[in-house]
């Protein structure tokens, strides 16, 4: 499934190894506690599905959908909640699971939103960290990879809803 417009950045194998590593770390940190993993739709779905299967602890999942980009690729800075979690996060150990943190605006908004609901604890896990694009400081507790400031697709991440099914992560070439 190789697309000529996509340059591989992280292979399936590299991703798998990292997911196992992060999973071990999270399982160790949350041992004896009930974890609520909140996946941010849609991009984090595949990462979350793989990650929770590495967790040898009690874990439940919920989903939240926010829009910050629409179909364009430049962060608008405006974050809107499209779907909220179903579970009351009050008193829960919440782990927000993101595919990628870019400007940090989405996560910053989400953290404020969650904090106001008084969880027992609140942490962040992201597979990718596009640190050069950051405009707002955000705390990251579990991070897969630092990546360059390029538009990436695959392993759940899209460009106009395409490429989410790629098993690897690649840079979309000739992208404007
Ligand atoms: P931020 O608010 O940090 O700028 O953007 C976070 C969201 O923007 C991510 O959860 C993701 O949905 C989207 N995003 C940022 N960079 C990329 C990228 O390189 N590729 C894709 N597919 N989505 C991105």
Segment 94-136, tens digit of pLDDT? 999 999 999 999 999 999 999 999 999 999 999 999 999 999 9
Whether residue 42 lies inside any domain: the answer is yes
**Rounded distance from Cα 33 to ligand 1 centre (Å):** 30
| pLDDT (tens digit per residue) in 134-147 | 999 999 999 999 99
Q: How many domains does the chain have?
A: 1
Whether residue 155 lies inside any domain: the answer is yes
Averaged confidence pLDDT in the chain: 93
What is the number of H-type helices and E-type strands within the chain? 3, 9
Whether residue 92 lies inside any domain: the answer is yes
66-75, 89-98, 112-121, range with the lowest pLDDT: 66-75
101 lines ligand 1 (CB under 6 A): yes
Do 134 and 79 meet the contact criterion of CB atoms below 8 Å apart? no
Q: Measured between alpha carbons, how far is 136 from 66 in angstroms, rounded to an integer?
A: 18
Coil/strand/helix, residue 26: helix
**Rounded distance from Cα 100 to ligand 1 centre (Å):** 5
Atom of ligand 1 nearest to the CA of 150: 19
Whether residue 1 lies inside any domain: the answer is no
105 lines ligand 1 (CB under 6 A): yes
Specify burial of residue 88 (Cβ count, 10 A radius: 0-12, 13-18, 19+).
exposed
Atom of ligand 1 nearest to the CA of 103: 4
Do 57 and 35 meet the contact criterion of CB atoms below 8 Å apart? yes
Whether residue 162 lies inside any domain: the answer is yes
Q: Measured between alpha carbons, how far is 102 from 131 in angstroms, rounded to an integer?
A: 7
**Domain around 161:** 6-172
CATH number of the domain enclosing 35: 3.40.50.2020
What are the residue numbers of the active site? 102
Q: Measured between alpha carbons, how far is 97 from 43 in angstroms, rounded to an integer?
A: 10
Q: Whose CA is nearest to atom 19 of ligand 1?
A: 151
Mutating to test ligand 1, I would choose from 134, 150, 157, 159 the residue with most ligand atoms within 8 A of its C-beta, which is: 157
Query: Token digits for 93?
Result: 């150990």
pTM above 0.75, yes or no: yes
């Amino acid at each position: 499934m190789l697309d000529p417009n996509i340059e591989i950045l992280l292979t399936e194998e590299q991703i798998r190894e990292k997911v196992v590593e992060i999973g071990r770390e999270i399982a160790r940190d949350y041992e004896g506690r009930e974890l609520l993993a909140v996946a941010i739709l849609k991009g984090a779905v595949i990462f979350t599905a793989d990650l929770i299967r590495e967790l040898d602890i009690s874990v439940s999942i919920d989903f939240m959908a926010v829009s910050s980009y629409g179909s364009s690729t430049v962060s608008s800075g405006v974050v809107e909640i499209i779907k909220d979690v179903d579970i009351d996060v009050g008193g829960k150990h919440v782990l927000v699971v993101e595919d990628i943190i870019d400007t940090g605006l989405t996560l910053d908004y989400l953290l404020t939103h969650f904090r106001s609901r008084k969880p027992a604890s609140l942490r962040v896990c992201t597979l990718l960290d596009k640190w050069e694009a950051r405009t707002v400081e955000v705390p990251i507790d579990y991070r897969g990879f630092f990546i360059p400031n390029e538009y990436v697709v695959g392993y759940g991440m899209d460009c106009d809803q395409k490429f989410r099914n790629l098993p690897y992560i690649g840079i979309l070439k000739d992208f404007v």
